Amino acid sequence: MCRTGGVFEPSETGDEEAMDAAFTSLLEDSTEELYESAPCGYLSTLMDGTIAKINATLLDWLGLEHKDVIGRKRFADLLTVGGKLYHETHFAPLLRMQGELRGIALEMKTGSGGRLPVLVSSVIKHGSEGEPLLIRTTVFDASDRRAYEKELLRRRQEAERARAEAEQARRQAEADRERLADALAVLQKSLLPDTLPAVPGLETAVYYHTASPDRLGGDFYDLFPVDGNRWAFFLGDVCGKGPQAAALTSLTRYTLRAAAHHDPEPDAALTTLNAVLHERYTASGDPRYCTCIFGVLEPGSDGRMTVRLGSGGHPPALVLRADGRAAFLPTPGGLLVGALPTAPFATATTTLAPGDTLVLYTDGLTEARTGPTRESLYGEDALLAFAAGQAPAAPRAVLSALADLLDGFGDGLNDDTALLALGIPAPATPATNNPR
């Protein structure tokens, strides 16, 4: 045998005596030294878990002193809260039943407050009469393995997400259009009122444009009484399309109706809706929200109506006056409904006189494309100019003109659009008597 770099290697002629001597020198470590300096942790505990013996390797990993552990701590005391819970509910009962457990993943806490991932194997030592005497446990440092497993899991999750996204796209592309159209027709009808109720002294009109016949829209509106004198109305737009948007729209409509009967003030109704949407969606990790404008009509004794409006991130309402003026009614400070746990909602007030009309709309109108690019949008300035050209006009006349405007956008109108107009009829013009 020859030595190369301190390692014995067999020679061509062989030297069994030299080889025996080499192995003997390697095995000169005492049993105690092999135990204390082993590349893994060893400990022995009584049946109640009290530590009776522990090697230097494990103490060094945990940053603990021998005197602070022997007879003072139990094996479970070395574990993290989660590890201790698993030990008490699974590890210890199974060990008592089976007599041994191998390769159980746990986490131990270090003296500095850190965590050490480990693999634990335990076996119960029995006496001559079969009675359990103590538990012998081997602990392996699994830090490198844990890091590898996390990286492997991350890559697997990425692959699964990519596969799920591809599968979702494939399913969408292969959806049965006829079956979907039938379901959408029923759902869409349930999301909007069949007709608007008759309000004394008020003319109403509504128009809904569906951008795609095979996808559920998220625009909504309603008008309903809240007491013997006042009426509430709202119009809005939820994020997204399809069945999930339909669910959000349904929840929004019925929440607003219920909130209005409890407290019809716009800021109170929008605050209630914000709390419901945030708890249902955003707080659970599936953020969904809507824009909404909510108002209350209160008739006066002089034929006028007071209107209080609150907005949650929605485009401002338009007012067409009987004298030919048109202007937006700004509602500043309103945030998207459901995006944050709490949100401020400001209220604006106006009065509708005979011949005045209030128009609410969703952003499908102002975001319609008027050119080849996404930047070429119709916009609020153009809408205001269009409304000024129509004023004064009754609700039905205004919405008829806006419907023609929407038709003129052609392919540029790629989003659903809801329009709601409320107005007080202008006084009848006296008929002129022609002499006979």
Least confident of 152-161, 256-265, 312-321: 152-161
E strands, 152-218, are 203-209
Q: Which residue has the higher pLDDT, 216 or 68?
A: 68
Three-state DSSP class for residue 266 = helix
Mean pLDDT of all residues in 156-185: 78
Q: Give the predicted TM-score (pTM) of the model.
A: 0.58
| Whole-angstrom distance, CA of residue 400 vs CA of residue 189 | 22
Residue pair 398/390 in contact by the 8 Å Cβ criterion: yes
Asked if the model's pLDDT at residue 196 lies above 70, the reply is: yes
Parallel, antiparallel, or unpaired: how do β-strands 290-299 and 305-312 relate?
A: antiparallel
- Tell how far CA 24 is from the center of its chain: 66
Q: Would you state the pLDDT for residue 385?
A: 96
Q: Would you state the pLDDT for residue 404?
A: 95
| Whole-angstrom distance, CA of residue 146 vs CA of residue 89 | 23
- Percentage of the chain lying above the pLDDT 70 cut: 88
Maximum alpha-carbon separation in the chain:
148
Q: Categorize the per-residue pLDDT at 116 as very low, low, confident or very high, splitting at 50, 70 and 90.
A: very high
| Whole-angstrom distance, CA of residue 307 vs CA of residue 231 | 10
Asked if the model's pLDDT at residue 1 lies above 50, the reply is: no
Residue pair 264/310 in contact by the 8 Å Cβ criterion: no
For helices 266-280 and 243-262, the axis angle rounded to 10 degrees is 140
Give the CB-side neighbour count of residue 409, counting CA atoms within 13 A: 24
